[in-house]
Amino acid sequence: MKNQEQANKRIILASASPRRVELLSKIVPSFDILPTNADENTSGISCAKDLVMFLALKKCQYCLEHNDIDKNSLIISADTVVYCDKVLGKPESKDDARKMIESISGRTHSVYTGVAICDASSERFDVFYDMSNVTVKRLSEAQIEEYIQSDEPYDKAGSYAIQGAFGKYIESISGSYENIVGLPIQKLVKHLSDFDCISISSCKTCFKCNRSRITKP
């Protein structure tokens, strides 16, 4: 009976990102969407992997604490940043987007996505991250200006969408493509299996283990 209940858990995605919704639908046939308004103050965390895990956890906790969540639920949240000399989040202006694109032009950068999973019945958290490398072709000033005139950069970490028009400027990637888009579904499947809701073996990465690696300068 317990296994049946676990297999029928209600899955909640704590994000309104169309990209994450599309990616999660590839591995979970049915889920609810509950966007969060969690405070994204990072308290000075500069390490990219620690930052994305910290923010993913905050979003997951916020969803659990500010909604009437069925105890038979699993909450999934995520956060993505680009790292190229420093953490690049979402641009706040056209000038900000221009600077970000200039900084990654002709270079290899890293994309980090942190994911948090919470079992509402036990309030058990599982937090992990994935990292992919992306090499971008060198862009001319005209190409950069043309791109930032579009709507595409302005809700994306690093000011670009690899699955969008910017894809033509990608020279190569190393690691998970889905991680770059915003949800590392291969790793997610393994971690979900640890909650007995997807039938696949995985290694356990618990919040307690990850928490010891989350450092604040």
- Is there a domain that residue 155 lies in? yes
Tell me which range, 29-33, 87-91, 96-100, 213-217, is most confidently predicted by mean pLDDT: 96-100
CATH number at residue 109: 3.90.950.10
Task: Round to whole Å and give the CA distance between 20 and 25.
Answer: 8
Catalytic residue of the set 39, 68, 79, 194: 79
- Give the tens place of pLDDT for each residue, 155-195: 899 999 999 999 999 999 999 999 999 999 999 999 998 88
Q: Is 79 a catalytic residue?
A: yes
pLDDT in tens, 90-126: 999 999 999 999 999 999 999 999 999 999 999 999 9
Paired tokens of 132:
């992919």
Would the pLDDT of 216 be above 80? no
Number of domains, the chain: 1
**Residue 108 is assigned to a structural domain of this protein:** yes
Give the per-residue pLDDT at 178: 97
Query: What is the pLDDT at residue 199?
Result: 40
Q: What is the mean pLDDT of the chain?
A: 86
Give a yes or no: residue 216 inside a domain: no
- Could you tell me if 187 and 130 are in contact, meaning their C-beta atoms sit under 8 angstroms apart? yes
Burial class (CB in 10 A: 0-12, 13-18, 19+), 52: buried
Mean pLDDT of 45-63: 94
Residues of the domain holding 37:
2-211
Domain-located, residue 217 = no
